[in-house]
Amino acid sequence: MKKPIILSLYFAICIVFNTGWLKQSASAFERFNDVYCQSEFEDKDICNVSFHRKFMSANLVKSGTNIRIPYSSIYRWSYENSTLRKRKGIFSTRLEHIHLFTILHRDVDLGTRKILIIDFDDIDYVPPMKSLLDDILPQSNSKDSHN
């Protein structure tokens, strides 16, 4: 008599964990490690960018600065990709592909305009980052209308 109850409890637990009822959704938390960031007067620095439910953050590794941007303060973002020709030696060059995200936002306390530039060369980061930013504010509608 107890075996069917234990078995159904086991299956119920498996269903809960496999369907993600207890997991955080992918759009609620996503992390991009070892990208390069530049914000305002900071130098270009290696950083880790995280997307949470209500805000995104960029943790600049060398300076130890953590930039927290509420989604409601983002008024425009853009994506650009380009190929740079870098000199490898005297007669040889190599091509480096760069993916660049520019995020314009307002400082919550002061109301001033700020910018965060994220660049990286890993193509695998592009679709999820574009999708997350598009969920926050669609790129086609991300005009500077919140002056």
Each residue of 111-125: pLDDT tens digit? Answer: 899 999 999 988 899
For residue range 16-71, list pLDDT tens digits in order: 444 333 333 444 468 999 899 998 777 889 999 999 999 999 999 998 889 999 99
Average pLDDT, rounded, for the chain: 78
Phi-psi region of 96 (alpha: psi -120 to 50; beta: other; left: phi over 0): beta
Residue 9: CA count within 13 A, CB half-sphere: 5
Does pTM surpass 0.85? no
Q: Which tokens sit at 112? A: 């001033």
Residue 4: the pLDDT is 55
What domains can you pick out in the chain, each with its CATH number?
Answer: 24-141 (2.30.29.30)
